Amino acid sequence: MHRGGGVHTTPAATGRGWVNQSDGKVLSWHRTKVVAVAAGRAAARARRVEHTIHRMDGRIGEKNSYGADPCPPKDGR
C-alpha cells in the first residue's frame, strides 16, 4: 500500500488535456477531465489516499478521501 501526498487531477501544463499526479510524478494523461477524474479516483482508491480534483484555473474544486481520513465526518458516515 502506497502512502503519499495523494492523487491530484489537474489541467496539463501544456493547456491540452488533464493529468493525474502523485508526489510530483505524472501517473496518467487524458484528453478530457471526465476520463482523468475517473482514472484519478481509481488510482487514489488503489493507493488509499486523498483525491484532489482541480478546476481549469488550477484552484481546488473537490476532494475525496479513500484512506485514513484525517478529518472524518462528525455524523459517523
Q: CB-based contacts of 66: which residues, under 8 Å, 6+ apart?
A: 41, 44, 45, 47, 48, 49, 50, 51
Question: At 17, is the secondary structure helix, strand, or coil?
Answer: coil
pLDDT at 16: 93
Question: What are the sequence ranges of the domains in the chain?
Answer: 7-63
Q: What CA dihedral angle connects 45, 7, 52 and 70, to 10 degrees?
A: 70
pLDDT at 63: 94
49 in Cβ contact with 6 (< 8 Å): yes
**What is the arithmetic mean of pLDDT over 64-73?**
75
pLDDT tens per residue, range 17-68: 999 999 999 999 999 999 999 999 999 999 999 999 999 999 999 999 988 6
- State yes or no: pLDDT of 1 exceeds 50: no
